[in-house]
Structure 1
């Protein structure tokens, strides 16, 4: 398996698989959002999911895959712990202060833009003019969706919106940082599954330990169900996009992942019975079109 992964890295076959993995990550990310659907406070939800991630990742990290070797591999994992902790705190604070349907597209819109720029600096990736046009269309769709949803926000939520939007942009920046950092880490580790299992094990320890120390976390049936199902979905989503960044372009994977907004709308319409008007459909179509342009470019 490892030999096959190394053989297809940087090839057209690897690029095609990377695109499929990024789209899979987008679908799972949308499913993850629908699973939470605002029923559980952000910090409690994060502690539950991280507990599930530790439970499913620790045995494999400790006993199944080779351990990380050398200072570089451990350094990437240590950096990932810090970066993802900052991301999780910023994300929770963003969702607490702003309407989810408004701030989420801002987070997901700024993330790939910064990631494409960072991939150009760190990995020397270059987007063609057609691909940049695709990025612009994706961003227009995401920010347009945020502006459209803003019309339905009540007056109380509007008062905290400036702070929430500032936090959303900061969260998007951390998305770009962790996307670039994790891509460098998984590329620097000969066995990608070593990086993945140890990544999920170590980066998921923080919130459960904090919750336990504060005594604020009381497992309920809903939290346990959310923790286990959310952990499996989160593993698939983050794992798929990280593997995509090893096999193909970091920037392309970052942009394709943001088609999660399209999948979220489809899940909301089919599964949750939410109404989808013509304007939202048009904005979703713009996001999908932008992703196609990035691929064709």
Structure 2
């Protein structure tokens, strides 16, 4: 598998596979968000997911893929710091604001910063049609956030700080997307970086979650929490793994923008699975997001 991926780097086939991987990442990220939605404390949810990631990633990292080359250890150490800041900020935002408001702001801010970072670091550039697509997509995402903000009634008093945290977390999305793209491109075997990334960057939140559990007067049952964490870990493998492979095969900025079609999939999941109401305004905003993604791809 790794040999095949390496062989199509820089080819038209590689660009097509990168497109598919970015859309797969978008769908799985929406599933990931649905798994986190509302059921458990966000600190415990993330801790359970990371605990399961350690369990499933460690054997693969230690025994099935080549070990990282010397300088890759430094890149992995940097990823541990960056992803801890991202996860910490995300948990703070989710704890203070409604998921349906915070999530679109995080996902909308991330690709804009990523496109700029990809231009600075990798020399990538977008044409006029692609920039139009970015603006249309971001308009749809932030439109969803405003729509939900107007209609949400819970946690109104903490929503403003939650939105600021969401913007900061979106900036961290851009940082880790660009940084991870650099890391996976610098590693000879892409799956080496992926498996060690999942293993090492997941060591932190299980500790925080355990401390939080100890301080709770009425901790939740552990079995449902662990099962949700295991499901989230498997989805994270597919979501984060797909987008990182996409950034190795194709342009970082395009992969980041296409991944942020996830609010469309999230709304579809909410409608089809969670039986949530999707009115004409939300449908129009989802069409904007999808149209923006199409423009980005066609403009390339």
Indicate whether the TM-score tops 0.5.
yes
What is the Cα deviation at residue 219 of structure 1? 5.9
Distance 2:240 2:222 in 1: 26
**For 1:40, what is the secondary structure of its paired residue?**
coil
What is the Cα deviation at residue 157 of structure 1? 2.4
Distance 1:219 1:126 in 2: 50
Q: How many residues align?
A: 295
What is the Cα deviation at residue 165 of structure 1? 1.0
Instruction: Report which stretch shifted further, 183-192 or 203-212.
Output: 203-212
Distance 1:57 1:74, change over 3 A: same
Distance 1:32 1:263 in 2: 11
1:38: which partner in 2? 38
2:7: which partner in 1? 7
What is the Cα deviation at residue 158 of structure 1? 2.5
1:171: which partner in 2? 169
2:98: which partner in 1? 99
1:135: which partner in 2? 134
2:281: which partner in 1? 279
Distance 1:103 1:2 in 2: 36
Deviation per CA, 1:140-170, whole angstroms, max 9, x where unpaired?
000000111111122x622222211110110
Distance 2:161 2:212 in 1: 26
| TM-score, normalised by the number of residues in structure 1 | 0.96
1:251: which partner in 2? 253
What is the Cα deviation at residue 37 of structure 1? 2.0
What is the Cα deviation at residue 209 of structure 1? 2.4
1:220: which partner in 2? 222
Distance 1:178 1:193, change over 3 A: same
1:182 aligns to 2:180 (yes or no): yes
Deviation per CA, 1:170-205, whole angstroms, max 9, x where unpaired?
000000000000000000000000000000000000
**For 1:276, what is the secondary structure of its paired residue?**
coil
2:297: which partner in 1? 295
Distance 1:211 1:175 in 2: 22
Q: CA RMSD in A?
A: 1.3
**For 1:162, what is the secondary structure of its paired residue?**
helix
What is the Cα deviation at residue 3 of structure 1? 2.7
Unaligned runs of 5+ in 1: none
| TM-score, normalised by the number of residues in structure 2 | 0.96
